[in-house]
Amino acid sequence: MRKETQHVYHHHDVAIRDLLTAQGSIEPSSVGGLLCSCLCHHLGAIALFFLIIGGLGLQLPSSVSYVVGLLPGFGPAIAALIMTAVTGGKAGVGQLLRRLVQWRVGLHWYLLVLFGVPLVLVVGASIMRGVISLSALIQQWPIIFTGYLPLVAISLVTAGLGEEPGWRGFALPKMQLRYGSLLGTLLLGLLWSFWHLPNVIFSGWGVQTFALFVFSTVVDGFILTWVYNNTKGSLLIAMLLHAAQNASAGLVTHVVAGFNSNQYFLLDAISFGVCVLLIILFTRGRYSYQPDCTAQPTEASRPQATASKPTHWA
């Protein structure tokens, strides 16, 4: 869940049924399509639900609205578990779950993820608006502990745990293996962006805002891929980075007065876009991708067809 408080995603029983009744000989190349189907089937149903509620003039209790808006944000994680079970069996699911708690990656990655993200954005805002942004953060430094880090903790569960097992845990390894790091990340970033389409409907976003959001999300996806590749597929670090990206939006818009959504998305895209270009330059386009070192989803073994032996008669 990125830079928003509520998502309107609902898992369709039909999508689940289709996955569970799929043939056992699912090819790895088709897994991405099945994941997309599982993620997208629910959009029409949940949108229709809210439109009916609004059209009838009904008002749901705030607690019900919150749950309806929050729980579907776990769609990618649920889809990842289903598809991993289908394609990798118990071994695959176990591998995916272990990567959620893969914490031995080096202290510097925790520091970079938690404090590097807001620092890059504040520096970028300072360049756009002068040193006032950086000085404002220095003057309000307690907000790092009273506002930013608590938001990271909340977003770690609501966004990181809900989405990263699907995007980086299941889809990214297959996308990198098939298309390479750069093209694979670009395609996944577009999918990740358009998964947020209901924001256009329910948050009142215009075309320009959503276009900037797509730009920002794709760029953020490149940062996530780089960190993922350098931490041997740790989903815990990916979740923390996702949470830091979300929480930094609130921090920057609080510190820098007058920043609207369009300006923030543009700031995010440009600031981290520069970082992405530097990473591509210093890694010579390989983006730190090493298939043998980066975690790859386990595929279930398939029974091999064996030719029947001829019967010899005495």
State the Cα–Cα distance between residues 182 and 4, nearest whole angstrom. Answer: 27
pLDDT at residue 304 tops 80: no
- Sign, CA dihedral 213-153-118-239, equals negative
Tell me how far apart the alpha carbons of residues 173 and 309 are, in angstroms, rounded to a whole number: 40
Q: Are 76 and 96 in contact, with CB atoms under 8 Å apart?
A: no
pLDDT at 57: 52
Say yes or no to pLDDT of 158 above 70.
yes
Q: Residue 136: its pLDDT value, please?
A: 75
Between 184 and 254, the more confident residue is 184
Give the alpha-carbon dihedral of 118, 286, 174, 107, to 10 degrees. Answer: -40
**Which amino acid is located at 78 in the chain?**
I
- 203-253 pLDDT, tens digit per residue, is 778 889 999 999 999 999 999 999 999 999 999 999 999 999 999 998 888
Q: Quick check: helix, strand or coil at residue 56?
A: coil
Kindly report the backbone phi and psi dihedral angles of residue 291, in degrees, each rounded to the nearest multiple of 5, phi listed first. Answer: -55, -35
| Predicted local confidence at residue 137, as pLDDT | 77
Enter the DSSP assignment of 308: P
Distance CA 89, CA 55 (A): 44
131 pLDDT more than 80: no
* 6 CB-contact burial (10 Å; exposed 0-12 / middle 13-18 / buried 19+): middle
Provide the CA 309 distance to its chain's centre, in angstroms: 51
Residue with tokens 């938690």: 114
Mean pLDDT over 57-71 rounds to 60
pLDDT at 1: 52
Structure-block tokens of residue 2 = 């990125």
Q: How many CB atoms lie within 10 A of CB 290?
A: 10
Of the candidates 68, 230, 92, 107, the one whose C-alpha atom is nearest the C-alpha of residue 165 is 92
Q: Is the dihedral of CA 156, 115, 122, 267 positive or negative?
A: negative
Query: pLDDT band at 132, cuts 50/70/90?
Result: low
Q: How far apart (Å, rounded) are the C-alpha atoms in residues 218 and 215?
A: 5
Amino acid letter for position 185:
T
For the chain, the first-to-last Cα distance in angstroms comes to 71
Residue appearing with tokens 């890694």: 283
Q: Is the pLDDT assigned to residue 310 strictly greater than 80?
A: no
- Residue 117 three-state SS: helix
**Residue ranges per structural domain of the chain:** 13-282
